[in-house]
Amino acid sequence: MTSRIPQIADDIRAIFAARGAGMVDVAILQPADPFLDMAGEDLRRRIFLTESETGAALCLRPEFTIPVCIDHIASKAGTPRRYAYLGEVFRQRREGGNEFFQAGIEDLGETDIARADARSIADAHALLAGVLPAHELTITLGDQRVFEAVLAALGLPRGWQKRLARAFGSKDMLDAALDDLANPARKLTLDEPVASLVAERDREGLASYVAGLMADTGLAESAGRTSTEIANRLIEKAELRSVRLSEEALGALKTFLAIHAPLRQAGNALRDFAGDAGISLGAALDIFSARSRCISELGLPEAAIHYDAGFGRPLDYYTGLVYEISAGSRDRPLAGGGRYDRLLTLLGAKSPIPGVGFSVWLDRIEALKGEA
């Protein structure tokens, strides 16, 4: 099952050492629940699931961030701490193969959020520039925190804020959500008794009924969403259908999502948007501006960095910065990362631990090197 170790592995390890990140190893076989609960819909569908001898749900590791965080909590290590890794991950239905290598750095416990964000981008850029010196790199930034600040400032109901925040990173999901906001009259078509249970907001009864259907069809709850999650989502959808956003607020949201500017102009673009919309973005804009200053101080190629207000990454645990790095105008990114300040608490840390990190796809890097 083990794939060939990439030829650039030693070069990457040397870059990690130079960046002050120590190598760690995490088990290939991981508990499945953290990924099913926190990794996002796209990754959830592509996990290789299995069971332990005791019936516990396990999976082949589909990424490194969650396993590194779990191991950090278990070790009771102090922070700040920087972990580097290089190894195989496993995902179903992936173009290029189900087994492939990733490498990256997870930066845990640094309380200077803006500086840690900038350093993460610099780490990823240094790695790619080191192994692909002949290629021009472009960096796309988004910001989950800024997006959620806009949703709150526009006065969207909490349920809609949650749905849109989950959709951030998936153009199709976000477009569908915006369409539902603009056209809430469409009915949610459900068969009985589900329709009555949803209408009565009977979460417990609906979850029990869904669990029975899953058992009848042989679908294990560990294979995807649990019956409780399905019930909550159905009731939430029904509640969201009753909300209509004003044309002014919906227009402002679409204007925000259309912002696409070079990083050096992005702060002003956000301030202009907030002024025109009559809203305040508060701490989210302060952190955004501080991060931009730190990026400049680290000497990253600012002309190659662009902010796209509608850009996100399809992992549910992101809370702030998200970014990808590509070679020129190619569609497939070589690196992707972001901030996940709630993740370690959700995984069991006794106190909040801020985190930011990135992964690079080694097969994509090697393919580019082969073109040279």
pLDDT of residue 224: 57
Same domain, 20 and 141: yes
**DSSP characters for 311-344?**
---S-TT--SEEEEEEETT-SS-SEEEEE-TTHH
pLDDT of residue 337: 97
Same domain, 302 and 209: no
pLDDT of residue 126: 97
Query: Which run of H or E residues covers position 191?
Result: none
pLDDT of residue 46: 86
pLDDT of residue 20: 95
Q: Which domain holds residue 220?
A: 194-241
Same domain, 104 and 220: no
Same domain, 262 and 359: yes
pLDDT of residue 1: 45
Pairing of strands 260-262, 305-308: antiparallel
Same domain, 217 and 337: no
Q: What is the mean pLDDT, run by run of 10 residues, along the chain of 372 residues?
A: 75 96 95 87 84 90 96 95 96 83 97 97 97 95 97 86 87 85 65 75 81 76 70 69 74 95 97 96 97 96 95 90 90 94 96 97 90 63
pLDDT of residue 22: 95
Please, are residues 59 and 30 in contact by the beta-carbon 8 Å criterion? yes
Region of residue 109 (phi > 0: left; psi between -120 and 50: alpha; otherwise: beta): left
Same domain, 280 and 235: no
Same domain, 285 and 141: yes
pLDDT of residue 121: 98
CA distances from 178 to 184, 190, 283, 309 (A): 10, 22, 25, 15
Domain assignment present for residue 221? The answer is yes
Residue 179 burial (C-beta neighbours within 10 Å; 0-12, 13-18, 19+): exposed
Which tokens belong to 155?
């006065």
Same domain, 133 and 272: yes
- The three-class DSSP label of residue 100 is strand
pLDDT of residue 130: 96
pLDDT of residue 308: 97
Domain assignment present for residue 188? The answer is no
pLDDT of residue 120: 98
